[in-house]
């Protein structure tokens, strides 16, 4: 395609509000344009990359027998009422009324629609397993849209849904999808690690997120440099190896700790290391209060707490509730009390002797508290976030942290939707049985961003050839000169037979053209300049900048060889 | 793909409400499923056909240098206020508010977005012409959704927009698009005639609709059997050849015509043919009343009236206004009056002598009125719809009528949006000049329906090979039998190298499989049955039903030759 016909509004300066590298490059290289907060137009280069990503997704979905469909964005509220999500979903769900006053959601996801789609048509276990997928714009009214395409309000997703008669079949499809995702992200040039993720109160290892590492991420990934281990930090297990110091219990002592609020302030005040003191927090678990004890340098992990208590209904108790219960405020709380409250503790608390705890009296702490002697602990468990450098659960070495972008997720839904929406088939005993379901998402527009986060340098984007908008960038330095124009057009004709060529035929200065070419980042650049009269052109790789002069007669062979080598 | 993995819920009976043939076949062959009124899911077969149609559109768009983008469905009201359409659009525009109370439209079309997209980026006439297109779901809250995908509320469109510095450039792109549409519809197997269409009060031949003939259409097309002439009936010109009978003017005579309301009643009462009497109608044209005279068997064509008076602001006068003006009611109106009202007449009125007209007195008519002697006509022109059998404007013969589905439209927008939204570039004089625009739509999901309307028989759909969901239907009559299963799977492996194969591996009766195969309508069916042990299979064409037995060793060559012959 002639560049004069393509709409590529490159920019010199991008708004300071574009924090993420990919956001800045998407704007600078003229790939997207914001319409309004969190809503973008994809310009020609981005659209070509999206089409390439989607083609790879389609191939890999077909390989695992997933079949493409297209469901509507407009979803009548009745379906969402069946699943219970009409009231549960909150303000992220965009809602509207039609001319007759009927309510609709703009699909943020399609569990309800797909369940209603199959429930009338699937009659027997013989029709299973079935996996349906679609690629489509989704809508979520994010409270704070940001990072360009990473957290937008209208975005492109591939979502797939599978239906099964039993766990074994669901497990099989889940694994096939997991493997397909692995192939998809590799093919598009992403180092996306599958990480264990939290699946809410359901528990179990029922979901993996595929995380692409990036400068700005919305999630922290804990990973191993020695193995494949990777987990969302919410999920990463702490390995507890008892390490109790040989120390004699001292007598319990109450000390005044005026104006001390935080653990750090307490440590400083008592002149002790942060990890030798403790923090006590009160949670409301399904209506019952508990006190949780962790060490000063540890942070409580809600997700683990929810998994432990098998409920989503856990929150920090209010200051009033705490004062009514223990007679003190946060900052002076502790496990030594005659009140009816169960004490739980992170497992690492077991290593401590002569512990510092709050005295349940504002401005006072105890020194030398000892477990069992001064207070009882209901249970020790892993209630906290792992720290960088701690040993990993797979024994492969120490925890490293990275920021990541979630580009995909595979999830076992179980019977949540099929039971709520009465989607059953007859099993081999002739009995109605509700379907088991899995769901599998890929953020297509996020993937575009993540690829850019991985593939760039100071000058701009460096496209992997699997998704590049065009293969070759043919640049006529001065198309007004006849020899340059003629050679360029001859090469354009020739190369187009084998490659997608972007031909810069614009009447712009060479500097502008080179600058744009670097920003746009096609894998190979062919420059037709001064030596056109000798039929010599310059061929330059975008990735390492290496260039060579090549005679036009040898060009096609040269490009074929070079292209083969590229990633 | 194995049919057991594909979701094709064929139906025996379809709801009686499915009037259109394509709607019935889409349901019967398991291509779509209704979610709610006017909103459908596209199931696997339909999605494959849509993808094929879209691929053809992309190729042909690229051929005319149109570049693909993707704009958002969510369009902030501010843009629509700039163009004036926020208030003008009416209830077909679906509207919603985000969590902050900001108003959005769900895009029914993208003139505003695309104009705002380019206006900041296009600076100079040197960047023109530019043509952008997208393929996307659109939303229109139709008052009466019907005919399945033909008039839905969420549907797929290809829309393109072009930008120009002058008319010559717009004309060139318009013609290129016209030609591209012609190629697209031919390639997908549609006989879609470009027809002259009305472009509203702007006038001129500025728009063509591409109409696919069908059993149920929403428009009437006037066409020639001898030439390429075709026009929307609103637009089809009447050829006037004077044909005045040699008759002496008689004396004006007022007669009582009690209880006569319609032209037909008047003709019957006076015992005259309908075409020898006249109808008088009063219109309000931009606030001024006019009286229009047409013959009894003709119908007034608003669109021609609007084009003649160069205004959209024309409506029938109210009964009260008419009575105040002429002292009579519709049914007794006529051109003989001393009131200040201009009389216009359809050109065919000139053929009449001794005309029957209303007397402007309820219950009375005049006989033997004569032009110029009894009343004056301001102008004669073509103010009516053409009748079937009348001569066509291109001289090719008589008018034939057909029902049609509008599958595409090319339209010169002019400066309507660029002026309203201040989209200018500098011209070659360095002066700001507003852009000239064209827009070009294809109803993608409508095209799917129209293809089915054209390609079917009693048994089901007959796909043209350019868009067929799969090329070949391989059917194992009884896959439980080892010889049939083995041969089928061997052929499935082999044929997949060259063709998209749907392999019916289901454990269903042969009758069910054949019935489904006919409904689904893939171009070639290969049946592996009783003679599998001899390596003999049956190959059957879906279009003419011809079948032949072929040895499996010769099958690939046989299929290659046969496929080549098919449309």
Closest Cβ opposite residue A72 in set B35, B70, B71: B35
E strand or H helix at B436? strand B436-443
- Report the half-sphere exposure of A338 (CA within 13 A, side-chain side): 0
The nearest alpha carbon in chain B to A68 belongs to B44
Q: Is the model's pLDDT at B201 over the cut of 70?
A: no
CB contact under 8 A, A154 and B121: no
Question: What is the per-residue pLDDT for B205?
Answer: 52
Here the ipTM equals: 0.87
* Min Cα separation A206/chain B (Å): 24
- Residue A205 confidence class, pLDDT cut points 50, 70, 90: low
| Burial (Cβ within 10 Å: 0-12, 13-18, ≥19) of residue A191 | exposed
Rounded mean pLDDT of chain A? 94
Q: Do the chains contact at B65 and A2, CB–CB below 8 Å?
A: yes
Stretch A369-390: mean pLDDT: 96
CB contact under 8 A, A44 and B74: no
Q: Work out the average pLDDT over B456-464.
A: 97
Which two structure tokens, joined as six digits, stand for B74?
Answer: 């969510």
- Shortest distance between the Cα of A514 and any Cα of chain B, in A, equals 18
Q: What distance in Å separates residue A505's CA from the closest CA in chain B?
A: 12
Query: Which chain B residues have a beta carbon less than 8 Å from that of A94?
Result: 96, 98
Instruction: Give the CA radius of gyration of chain A.
Output: 30
Residues of A in Cβ contact (< 8 Å) with B139: 73-74
Among candidates A6, A70, A71 on the partner chain, residue whose Cβ is nearest the Cβ of B67: A6
Give the mean model confidence (pLDDT) for residues B486-508: 96
Can you give the pLDDT at residue A201? 44
User: When comparing pLDDT for B511 and A215, which is higher?
Assistant: B511
Q: Which chain B residues are closer than 8 Å to A62 by Cβ?
A: 1
pLDDT at residue A200 is higher than 80: no
Chain A: closest CA distance from residue B47 (Å): 5
Chains A, B: CB pairs < 8 Å:
155
Decide: B231 and B239 in contact? Cβ < 8 Å.
no
A75 neighbourhood in chain B, CB within 8 Å: 35
Task: Take residue A388 and report the two structure tokens written for it.
Answer: 């960088």
Nearest to B95 among A4, A96, A153 (CB): A96
pLDDT at B22: 93
Q: How far is A510 from chain B (nearest CA, A)?
A: 17
Residue A454 pLDDT more than 90?
yes
Residues of A in contact with B141 (CB under 8 A): 98-99
A-chain residue closest to B120, CA distance:
A9
pLDDT (mean) for A223-227: 91
- What does the pLDDT read at residue B216? 73
pLDDT in tens, B513-529: 999 999 999 999 999 99
Q: Smallest CA–CA separation between A567 and chain B, in Å?
A: 26
Q: What confidence score (pLDDT) does residue B204 get?
A: 44
Q: Do B379 and B413 form a contact (C-beta atoms < 8 A)?
A: no
Q: What is the distance in angstroms between the Cα of A534 and the nearest Cα belonging to chain B? A: 30
User: Which residue of A48, A58, A68, A143 to mutate against B (max B Cβ within 10 Å)?
Assistant: A68
Name which of B69, B96, B113 is nearest A44 (Cβ-Cβ): B69
The confidence band for A470, taking pLDDT boundaries of 50, 70 and 90, is: very high
Q: What is the pLDDT of residue A90?
A: 83
Lowest mean pLDDT among A84-88, B53-57, B292-296: A84-88
Query: Under an 8 A CB cutoff, do B94 and A96 touch?
Result: yes
The pLDDT of residue B381: 96
Instruction: Identify all chain A residues contacting B31, using CB atoms and an 8 Å cutoff.
Output: none
Q: In terms of Cα–Cα distance, which of B371, B314, B359, B297 is closest to B332?
A: B359
DSSP bridge partners of A211? A193, A406
pLDDT digits (tens, 9 = 90+) for A315-335: 999 999 999 999 999 999 999
Nearest by CB to B33, which of A4, A35, A117? A117
Domains with residue ranges and CATH for chain B? 14-226+401-453 (3.30.930.10), 253-381 (3.90.960.10), 470-565 (3.40.50.800)
Q: In this predicted structure, what is the pLDDT of residue B203?
A: 41
Taking the alpha carbons of B516, B521, B522, B523 in that order, is the dihedral positive or negative?
Answer: positive
CB contact under 8 A, A96 and B99: no
Q: Do B476 and B49 touch, CB atoms closer than 8 A?
A: no
Interchain contact, A33 vs B117, CB within 8 Å: yes
Q: How far is CA A5 from CA A33, B68, B131, B132, in A?
A: 18, 11, 8, 9
Mutate to test the interface with A, among B72, B95, B160, B500 (most CBs of A within 10 A): B72
Q: In the predicted model, what is the mean pLDDT of residues B362-367?
A: 96
Question: B155 to chain A: nearest residue by CA?
Answer: A72
| DSSP codes, A89-133 | S-TTSEEEE-TT--EEEE-S--HHHHHHHHHTT--BGGG--EEEE
pLDDT per position as a tens digit, B340-356: 999 999 999 999 999 99
> Are the Cβ atoms of A96 and B91 closer than 8 angstroms?
no
Q: Which residues of chain B make contact with A7, given a CB cutoff of 8 A? A: 67, 69, 118, 121, 130, 132
Local confidence band at A387 (pLDDT 50, 70, 90 cut-offs)? very high
CA nearest A99 in B: which residue?
B91
Q: How far is A239 from chain B (nearest CA, A)?
A: 43
Q: How far is A95 from chain B (nearest CA, A)?
A: 7
Closest CB to B70: pick one of A42, A65, A99. Answer: A42
Question: Is the Cβ pair A41, B71 closer than 8 Å?
Answer: yes
Show Cβ contacts of residue A355 under 8 Å, excluding neighbours closer than 6 positions: A277, A278, A349, A368, A369, A370, A371
Edge-to-edge strand order for the sheet containing A524-528?
A501-504, A472-476, A524-528, A536-541, A547-551
Q: Which residues of chain B are within 8 Å of residue A91 when distances are taken between CB atoms?
A: 99
Q: Which residue has the tokens 């809503």?
A: A39
pLDDT tens digits, one per residue of B389-413: 999 999 999 999 998 899 999 999 9
Whether the pLDDT of residue A56 is over 80: the answer is yes
Considering only CB atoms, A70 lies closest to which of B42, B68, B113, namely B42
Q: Flag whether pLDDT at A203 surpasses 80.
A: no
The pLDDT-based confidence of B164 (bands split at 50, 70, 90) is very high
Q: What percent of chain B has pLDDT over 70?
A: 99
Contact check, Cβ <8 Å, B70/A50: yes
A-chain residues within 8 Å CB-CB of B95? 96
pLDDT band at B88 (very low <50, low <70, confident <90, very high): confident
User: Which of A49, A55, A74, A76 to mutate: most B Cβ within 10 Å?
Assistant: A74
Nearest CA distance, A248 vs chain B (angstrom): 60
Q: What distance in Å separates the CA atoms of residue A298 and residue A276, rounded to the nearest whole number?
A: 11
In sequence order, what DSSP letters do the residues of B119-131 get, joined into one string?
HTT--BGGG--EE
pLDDT at A17: 85
- In this prediction, residue A313 carries a pLDDT of 83
For an interface test with B, give the residue of A31, A58, A64, A99 to mutate (most B CBs within 10 A): A99
In percent, the amount of chain A with pLDDT more than 90 equals 85
CB atoms within 10 A of CB B90: 10
- Whole-number average pLDDT of chain B: 94
Quick one: pLDDT at residue A202? 41
Query: What is residue B230's predicted lDDT score, i.e. its pLDDT?
Result: 87
- The answer to whether A290 touches A379, Cβ cutoff 8 Å, is no
As a whole number, mean pLDDT of residues A170-175 equals 96
C-alpha distance from A420 to closest chain B C-alpha (Å): 18
Q: Kindly tell me if the per-residue pLDDT of B229 is higher than 90.
A: no
Check CB contact under 8 Å for A68 and B48: yes
Predicted TM-score (pTM) of this structure: 0.87
Which phi and psi (to 5°) does residue B184 adopt? -60, -50
Mutate which: B36, B144, B505, vs A, most A CBs within 10 A: B36
- Name which of A43, A74, A126 is nearest B69 (Cβ-Cβ): A43
Q: Are B556 and B503 in contact (CB under 8 A)?
A: no
Gap from A48 CA to chain B (nearest CA, Å): 8
Residue of B nearest to A507 (CA): B126
Residues B19-31 have pLDDT tens digits of 889 999 999 999 9
H or E, element range at A493: helix A482-496
**Yes or no, beta carbons of A98 and B98 under 8 Å apart:** no
Which chain A residue is nearest to residue B100, measuring alpha carbons? A143
């Amino acid at each position: 395609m002639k560049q004069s016909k393509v709409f590529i509004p490159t920019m010199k300066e991008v708004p300071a509000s574009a924090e993420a590298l990919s956001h800045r490059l998407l704007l600078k290289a003229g790939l997207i344009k914001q319409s309004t907060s969190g809503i973008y137009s994809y310009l020609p280069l981005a659209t070509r990359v999206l089409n390439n990503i989607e083609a790879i997704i389609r191939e890999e979905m077909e390989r695992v027998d997933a079949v493409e469909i297209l469901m509507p964005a407009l979803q009548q509220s009745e379906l969402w009422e069946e699943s219970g999500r009409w009231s549960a979903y909150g303000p992220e769900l965009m809602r509207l009324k039609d001319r007759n006053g009927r309510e609709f959601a703009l699909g943020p996801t399609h569990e309800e629609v797909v369940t209603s789609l199959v429930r009338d048509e699937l009659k027997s276990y013989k029709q299973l397993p079935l996996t349906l997928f679609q690629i489509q714009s989704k809508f979520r009214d994010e409270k704070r849209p940001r990072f360009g395409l990473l957290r937008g309000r209208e975005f492109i997703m591939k979502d797939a849904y599978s239906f099964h008669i039993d766990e074994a079949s669901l497990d099989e499809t889940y694994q096939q999808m997991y493997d397909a995702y692995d192939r998809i992200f590799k093919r598009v040039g992403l180092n996306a690690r599958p990480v264990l993720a939290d699946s809410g109160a359901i528990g179990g290892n029922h979901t993996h997120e595929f995380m692409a590492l990036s400068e700005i991420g919305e999630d922290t990934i804990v990973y191993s440099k020695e193995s494949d281990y990777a987990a969302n930090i919410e999920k990463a297990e702490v390995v507890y190896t008892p390490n109790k110091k040989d120390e004699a219990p001292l007598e319990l002592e109450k000390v005044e700790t005026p104006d001390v609020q935080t653990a750090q302030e307490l440590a400083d005040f008592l002149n002790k290391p942060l990890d030798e003191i403790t923090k006590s927090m009160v949670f409301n678990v399904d209506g019952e209060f508990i006190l949780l004890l962790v060490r000063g340098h540890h942070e409580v992990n809600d997700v683990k707490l929810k998994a432990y208590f098998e409920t989503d209904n856990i929150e920090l108790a209010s200051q009033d509730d705490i004062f009514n219960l223990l007679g003190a405020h946060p900052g002076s709380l502790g496990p030594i009390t005659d009140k009816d409250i169960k004490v739980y503790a992170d497992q690492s608390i077991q290593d401590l002797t002569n512990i510092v705890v709050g005295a349940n009296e504002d401005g006072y702490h105890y020194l030398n508290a000892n477990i069992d002697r001064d207070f009882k602990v209901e249970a020790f468990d892993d209630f906290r976030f792992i720290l960088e450098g701690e040993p990993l659960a797979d024994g492969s070495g120490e925890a490293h942290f990275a920021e990541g972008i979630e580009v995909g997720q595979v999830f076992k839904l179980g019977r949540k939707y099929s039971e709520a929406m009465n989607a059953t088939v007859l099993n081999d005993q002739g009995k109605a049985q509700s379907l088991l379901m899995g769901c599998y998402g890929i953020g297509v527009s996020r993937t575009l961003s993540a690829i850019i986060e991985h593939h760039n340098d100071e000058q701009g984007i460096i496209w992997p050839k699997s998704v590049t908008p065009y293969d070759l960038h043919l640049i006529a330095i001065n198309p007004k000169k006849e020899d340059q124009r003629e050679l360029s057009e001859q090469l354009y004709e020739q190369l187009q037979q084998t490659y997608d060529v972007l031909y810069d035929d614009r009447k712009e200065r060479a500097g502008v053209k080179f600058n744009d070419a670097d920003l746009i980042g096609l894998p190979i650049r062919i420059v037709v300049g001064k030596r056109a009269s000798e039929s010599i052109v310059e061929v330059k790789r975008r990735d390492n900048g290496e260039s060579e002069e090549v005679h036009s007669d040898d060009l096609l062979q040269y490009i074929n060889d070079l292209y083969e080598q590229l990633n």
